[in-house]
Copies of this chain bind each other. A is one copy, B any other.
Amino acid sequence: MKSDIILLGHGSGGTLSHQLLDEIIIPALSDVAQRDQNDSAVIDYKGDRLAYTTDSYVVDPLFFPGGNIGDLAINGTVNDLAMAGARPLALSVGLILEEGLPLEELKTILTSMRNAAEHAGVRIVTGDTKVVPRGKADKVFINTSGIGVFDHPLDIRGSGARLGDKVLINGTVGNHGMAVLASREGLGLQSDICSDSASLGALTADLLKTHGEAVHVLRDPTRGGVATTLKEIARQSKADITLTEPQIPVDEAVGSACAILGLDPLFVANEGKMLAVVAAEAAEGILQTMRSHPEGHQAAIIGEVSGQSSGKVFMRTAIGGLRAIEMLAGEQLPRIC
C-alpha cells in the first residue's frame, strides 16, 4: 500500500479497493476469512448450499431520480444473491442514523425498502438501529445482508468464462452513477437521467431456468462499472474479453453528461444491470429471454471471450481500433451507492 491512511479511492470498487482487500483486510483476518471474489459467498449447510452476502449503502444524496438509499439497499443485496444464481430467502437491515434526521425522511426510505422487498419477494426478518450524534455520520447509512437458496444445481461463478463465450448486458450502462451525480447540489448538471436501480431476481431466475448450463457467469457491474467488473471476470476466468464499442447501449443523456464531466460510462456504477457470459450458441436465445423482461428490454450482446489465460479486457472501437481496458484506478465518483 502506498498510503498509510484510508483514501476515498479505497471505496471505489477499483484497483485501490482490491489492494485494500488483498493487502490489508484478508491478511489480517487470516484463516477465519477467505476472499470470495464473487458477489455472494456460497456456504455448505448439511450437504446443501446457501448464498450469503452483505453490503453497506452510503449514497449521497439519499434521494435521487429513480430511487433512494432504501430501495438501493434492498435491490443491491437481492442482486448479489441473484448473481450467484440464488433466490433471496431473507434479508437483514442495519440502520445507522444521524441525530437530527427528520422522521419523515426515514419513513420515506423505509417505505421504499418495503416496496422493493415486496417486489423482489423477500422478507426482512431481522434488524438493528444505531444512532450517532450530529456530525458523526451523514444522515443515514444502511447495511443489508441476505441469505439465498438454490432452486437448481448450477454453480455460477466469476471463473466460468470460456473461450468463444458471448458477453451480454441487460440494458444501458452508467445510469445510476450519473443520476446520483446529477442530483448532487452545486454541480449545475440539469438532466432527466434516472437511476436503473432494480431487482434482477426474476430475470436471473428465468435465465437459469430456461438456459441452465449455457449461463456461465453472472455479475452486476456496480461500483467500478462494466469495465472493472469485466476485468474481475477476465482475471477470475483467466480469459481475455473483447468488447465491441458500438454495441454497448448508452442513453444519450448519460453519454452527454459523461462527455461534459470527462467520465467514461464504462466505469460508472449501475444498480439494475447484469453482465452475463454465456455459451455462444445460446446467446441469441438468452438475449431474447432478457428482452422479455422489463429489466432487460434494452439487452445487447456487447462482446466475447476472445482469448485465454491473460485476464485482459479490450475494446474494439467504432473505427476499428483495439484498446486495453483497465480496472478503475482511484475514485471516480465517491458515495455512489
Q: Which A positions have Cβ atoms within 8 angstroms of B?
A: 1, 3-11, 17, 20-21, 24-25, 28-34, 36, 40-41, 43, 45-46, 48, 50, 52-58, 60, 89-90, 92-104, 106-107, 110-111, 113-114, 117-118, 122-133, 135-138, 141, 143, 145, 147, 149, 331, 334-335
Question: In the assembled complex, which residues on chain B have CB atoms less than 8 Å from the CB atom of A133?
Answer: 8, 334-335
Of B43, B93, B128, B131, the contact of A6 (CB 8 Å cutoff): B131
Question: In the assembled complex, which residues on chain B have CB atoms less than 8 Å from the CB atom of A137?
Answer: 58, 136-138, 141
Contact A94-B334, Cβ < 8 Å, known A3-B103, A11-B130, A123-B33: no
Copies of this protein in the assembly total 2
Contact A52-B147, Cβ < 8 Å, known A28-B114, A110-B29, A126-B41: yes
Give the CA-CA distance A325 to B253 in the complex, in Å.
61
Give the CA-CA distance A166 to B129 in the complex, in Å.
31
Which residue of chain B is the closest to A117 with respect to CB atoms? B32
Contact A20-B129, Cβ < 8 Å, known A4-B103, A28-B107, A137-B138: yes
Contact A125-B92, Cβ < 8 Å, known A6-B98, A11-B131, A114-B30: no
Which residue of chain B is the closest to A101 with respect to CB atoms? B6
Give the CA-CA distance A8 to B50 in the complex, in Å.
37
Closest approach, in angstroms, between the C-beta of A129 and any C-beta of chain B? 6
Which residue of chain B is the closest to A103 with respect to CB atoms? B4
Contact A5-B102, Cβ < 8 Å, known A92-B52, A114-B30, A141-B96: yes
Give the CA-CA distance A110 to B29 in the complex, in Å.
6
Of B5, B54, B130, the contact of A92 (CB 8 Å cutoff): B54
User: Contact between A54 and B143 (Cβ–Cβ < 8 Å)?
Assistant: yes
User: Contact between A127 and B92 (Cβ–Cβ < 8 Å)?
Assistant: no
User: Contact between A6 and B103 (Cβ–Cβ < 8 Å)?
Assistant: yes
Give the CA-CA distance A166 to B188 in the complex, in Å.
66
Which residue of chain B is the closest to A28 with respect to CB atoms? B110
User: Contact between A32 and B145 (Cβ–Cβ < 8 Å)?
Assistant: no
User: Contact between A124 and B29 (Cβ–Cβ < 8 Å)?
Assistant: yes
User: Contact between A21 and B104 (Cβ–Cβ < 8 Å)?
Assistant: no
Contact A25-B110, Cβ < 8 Å, known A103-B3, A126-B36, A128-B56: yes
Give the CA-CA distance A7 to B129 in the complex, in Å.
12
Give the CA-CA distance A100 to B7 in the complex, in Å.
6
Contact A5-B100, Cβ < 8 Å, known A90-B52, A128-B56, A129-B11: yes
Of B43, B90, B138, B149, the contact of A41 (CB 8 Å cutoff): B90
User: Contact between B24 and A110 (Cβ–Cβ < 8 Å)?
Assistant: yes
Question: In the assembled complex, which residues on chain B have CB atoms less than 8 Å from the CB atom of A110?
Answer: 24-25, 28-29
Give the CA-CA distance A276 to B84 in the complex, in Å.
40
Question: In the assembled complex, which residues on chain B have CB atoms less than 8 Å from the CB atom of A45?
Answer: 45, 50, 89, 149
